[in-house]
Amino acid sequence: MPAFPDAYAELEPFADWALPSESDRYAKRLATPMSELQAFYDAVFPRLEDSTDYLKGVPLEGISEQDRNLVWLFASLVTVSFPVEVWRQPRVPDSGASSIDVVVEPGP
Amino acid sequence: MPHFTKPAEGSWTEHFGLATEPVSYDDSISPEHFELERDAIFRRTWLNVGRVEQLPRKGSYFTKELDAARTSVIIVRDKEGRIRAFHNICRHRGNKLVWNDYPKEETSGSCRQFTCKYHGWRYGLEGELTFVQQESEFFDLDKSDFGLAPITVDEWAGFIFVNFDREAQPLKEYMGRLGAGIEAYPFDKMTQVHKYRAEIGSNWKLFIDAFMEFYHAPVLHAKQATEEESRKLQGYGYEALAYDVDGPHAVVSSWGGMAPPKDLSMVKPIERVLRSGLFGVWDAPDIGELPEGLNPSGHPSWGEDSFLFFPNFMVLIWKPNWYLTYHYWPTSYNTHIFEGTLYFVPPANAYERLQQELAVVSFKEYGLQDGNTLEATQTMIESGAVTEFPLCDQEVMLRHLHRACREYVADHQQATPGTPVRVSAAS
């Protein structure tokens, strides 16, 4: 079964970004070179832009697996937007060795 | 020329009767002083350990490591539905009672009784000892003498606090005027929780200092805004709308033009699409009327109030109807554990979930910068190369916090004359 709803078939190559934990999304961002982060952003950002009405029509209660994957993919876009739109590097500048780790997070 | 009105004395600092000369940070670089703070502050004030939603039913429990008070505690909802707190120690041979895999990691769950991993002693939810393995081998053991050691526990606005001082003043009274002013806030409607934790290489007070002033924000976090917006913000600098103190507690009230921004070109593309950012989701949920203690200056540009409830519990209430808590748990004179927890009204649909995600991730990106800066500060003030530091009027709450801490230490020393100063083994 495809990871995402039919209308998002072209995002299939990015299915490995559909990660349910913020710590995994952040770790993947740190482990990915800027060129790939940019490519991910360029492909996924326009789809978030044209999907706001669709997403507003997806209740979280009883969400389908494909819609859930789509939420996690867009959550990865949120994480990746910082290096692409602001930092120009995967890490937060001046953050050195510091880390802030999620210990409680909700589902979709 | 200030943008916002200052008190008649001409400055907030003088208004609160605080000195204006440079300050020393010798209260933040010494193991000996930290040992004094443990006894004078962390074993004598109300400490927030969680919220009632963490104990949804009878038998729900969680543990909290309170190194600063030299203990670990169990918080549990008993059979009658009341919240109780106990030291997390088995009465038999002193093993930590509740833990999983790693004794120093906090845990939570639901149970009918607590069973010690060591020799199988069992305790009911009211703390009573109910079972002793091979009881007949013991010598005149009366189980009713060996219940779990209780700790004073109380609730304020759904927040659970413990206090190791048996003669502590009631919690409601301790929270004072600032607490009373926000007690009616609908904290209970905001049950969507994202919690973060970080180990920080600085004295606990230094991180509170960082979050009780926003003088740093336009500079340290300059790149978080678009370039043009960032230049503008640095030009303005930062001024609070108002400050207030009540006893050791304090509040900073700030403007908040960013949720939503006046002009969409001020914000990043992701913020435009998700209508959200560091200040929260622009489309605020309806939560009814706000309590009077918020926005103390009544300013129309109000955006956020940061309350510090002494010693280490901050509540940040934002105009778009969400809140954030910070806790700073010292583990030594120059290390502490920071917890940042974001609370939202549960999202109804996928779009709202992503709006909240952007607010959460923005908090994390800023926090990473703040955390690292603190370690840089701690190592240099420890060098002793410079010992006096000038603070501006927008840093008034730093003076207030450090003064409150010194007063607690001095009062405790006076109340317990002859108490030897504990010297930490840590270097």
Q: pLDDT for B222-248, tens place per residue?
A: 666 677 777 777 777 788 999 999 999
B326 with B202, same domain: the answer is: yes
Range of the domain at B276: 12-40+177-415
B330 with B218, same domain: the answer is: yes
The answer to whether residue B3 sits within a structural domain is: no
Query: What is the pLDDT at residue B98?
Result: 96
Q: Confirm or reject contact between A105 and chain B (CB < 8 A).
A: yes
Query: What is the pLDDT at residue B228?
Result: 73
CA distance, residue A80 to nearest chain B CA (Å): 10
Query: What is the pLDDT at residue B140?
Result: 94
Q: Confirm or reject contact between A57 and chain B (CB < 8 A).
A: yes
Mean pLDDT across A87-94: 90
Measured between CA atoms, the residue of chain B closest to residue A71 is B350
Mean pLDDT across B303-320: 97
Q: Of the candidates B266, B279, B256, which has an alpha carbon nearest to the alpha carbon of residue B358?
A: B279
Q: DSSP character for A61?
A: T
**Where a domain ends, among B119, B138, B163?**
B163
The answer to whether residue B154 sits within a structural domain is: yes
Mean pLDDT across A60-87: 97
Mean pLDDT across B349-353: 98
Tell me the count of A-B CB pairs closer than 8 A: 118
B32 with B118, same domain: the answer is: no
CB atoms within 10 A of CB B311: 25
B223 with B184, same domain: the answer is: yes
Query: What is the pLDDT at residue B218?
Result: 72
Mean pLDDT across B321-330: 97
**Where a domain ends, among B101, B136, B163?**
B163
B159 with B128, same domain: the answer is: yes
CATH number reported for the structural domain that contains residue B118 in this entry = 2.102.10.10
Report whether B256 contacts B279 (CB < 8 A).
yes
Q: Confirm or reject contact between A78 and chain B (CB < 8 A).
A: yes
Query: What is the pLDDT at residue B426?
Result: 37
pLDDT band at residue B108 under the 50/70/90 scheme: very high
CB atoms within 10 A of CB B424: 14
| Percent of chain A surpassing pLDDT 70 | 100
Q: Locate B227 and state its tokens.
A: 């370039």
Report whether B412 contacts B44 (CB < 8 A).
yes
The answer to whether residue B62 sits within a structural domain is: yes
B144 with B244, same domain: the answer is: no
Query: What is the pLDDT at residue B167?
Result: 93
- Hey, which bits of B290-366 come out as E strands? 302-309, 313-318, 322-332, 335-344
Q: Which ipTM did the prediction report? A: 0.98
Mutation for testing the B interface, residue in A82, A98, A105 having most B CBs under 10 Å:
A98
Residues in CB range of B86: below 8 A, 6 or more apart: B73, B74, B76, B127, B148, B149, B150, B151
Q: Which of B223, B346, B368 lies closest to A98 in CB terms?
A: B368
B246 with B327, same domain: the answer is: yes
Establish how many alpha carbons lie within 13 A of residue B125's alpha carbon, considering only the half-sphere containing its beta carbon: 19
Helices (H), B212-349: 217-220, 227-236, 269-274
Measured between CA atoms, the residue of chain B closest to residue A25 is B361
Q: Confirm or reject contact between B360 and chain A (CB < 8 A).
A: yes
Q: Confirm or reject contact between A96 and chain B (CB < 8 A).
A: yes
pLDDT band at residue B90 under the 50/70/90 scheme: very high
Residue A37 pLDDT exceeds 80: yes
| Percent of chain B surpassing pLDDT 70 | 95
Strand order across the B242-246 sheet: A101-104, B192-200, B335-344, B322-332, B313-318, B302-309, B249-255, B242-246
The answer to whether residue B280 sits within a structural domain is: yes
Q: Locate B201 and state its tokens.
A: 């290489």
Which is higher by pLDDT, B426 or B373? B373
Residue B376 pLDDT exceeds 60: yes
B302 with B344, same domain: the answer is: yes
CA distance, residue B256 to nearest chain A CA (Å): 21
End-to-end CA distance of chain A: give it in Å, rounded. 20
A 21-40 near B (Cβ less than 8 A): 22, 26
Q: Measured between alpha carbons, how far is B85 from B91 in angstroms, rounded to an integer?
A: 15
**Where a domain ends, among B163, B185, B212?**
B163
Could you report the per-residue pLDDT of A1-20, keeping only the tens digit for each?
899 999 999 999 999 999 99
pLDDT band at residue B221 under the 50/70/90 scheme: low
Across chain B, what does the average pLDDT equal? 92
pLDDT band at residue B216 under the 50/70/90 scheme: confident
DSSP result, B13-58: HHHTT---S-B--TTSS-HHHHHHHIIIIITTS-EEEEEGGG--ST
Q: Which of A26, A48, A105 lies closest to B194 in CB terms?
A: A105
Helix (H, G, I), strand (E, B) or coil at B291: coil
Mean pLDDT across B201-211: 94
Which is higher by pLDDT, B426 or B258? B258
Residue B425 pLDDT exceeds 50: no
The answer to whether residue B425 sits within a structural domain is: no
| Percent of chain A surpassing pLDDT 90 | 90
Mean pLDDT across B82-96: 97
Residue B427 pLDDT exceeds 50: no
pLDDT band at residue B256 under the 50/70/90 scheme: confident
Number of structural domains found in chain B: 2
Establish how many alpha carbons lie within 13 A of residue B8's alpha carbon, considering only the half-sphere containing its beta carbon: 0
The answer to whether residue B172 sits within a structural domain is: no
Query: Cβ–Cβ of B349/A58 closer than 8 Å?
Result: yes
Query: Cβ–Cβ of B273/A48 closer than 8 Å?
Result: yes
The answer to whether residue B5 sits within a structural domain is: no
Mean pLDDT across B68-97: 97
CA distance, residue B246 to nearest chain A CA (Å): 32
Helices (H), B24-161: 31-37
Query: Cβ–Cβ of A75/B367 closer than 8 Å?
Result: no
B124 with B240, same domain: the answer is: no
Query: Cβ–Cβ of B360/A22 closer than 8 Å?
Result: yes
Query: What is the pLDDT at residue B215?
Result: 80
B275 with B133, same domain: the answer is: no
Query: What is the pLDDT at residue B150?
Result: 97
CA distance, residue B231 to nearest chain A CA (Å): 15
Residue A46 pLDDT exceeds 50: yes
Could you report the per-residue pLDDT of B128-171, keeping only the tens digit for each?
999 999 999 999 999 999 999 999 999 999 999 999 999 999 99
B157 with B188, same domain: the answer is: no
Q: Measured between alpha carbons, how far is B89 from B97 in angstroms, rounded to an integer?
A: 5
Q: Which of A78, A95, A103 lies closest to B270 in CB terms?
A: A78
Q: Locate B52 and state its tokens.
A: 């009632």
Query: What is the pLDDT at residue B257?
Result: 65
CATH number reported for the structural domain that contains residue B259 in this entry = 3.90.380.10
Query: Cβ–Cβ of A105/B195 closer than 8 Å?
Result: yes
Residue A95 pLDDT exceeds 90: no
Cα B36 to Cα B26, B201, B426: the distances in Å are 13, 20, 14
Residue B339 pLDDT exceeds 50: yes
Q: Measured between alpha carbons, how far is B166 from B164 in angstroms, rounded to an integer?
A: 6
The answer to whether residue B301 sits within a structural domain is: yes
B406 with B311, same domain: the answer is: yes
Q: Which of A78, A100, A101 lies closest to B358 in CB terms?
A: A78
CA distance, residue B236 to nearest chain A CA (Å): 22
Residues of A in contact with B270 (CB under 8 A): 45, 77-78, 81, 85
Query: What is the pLDDT at residue B423?
Result: 45
Query: Which amino acid would we find at residue B306?
Result: S
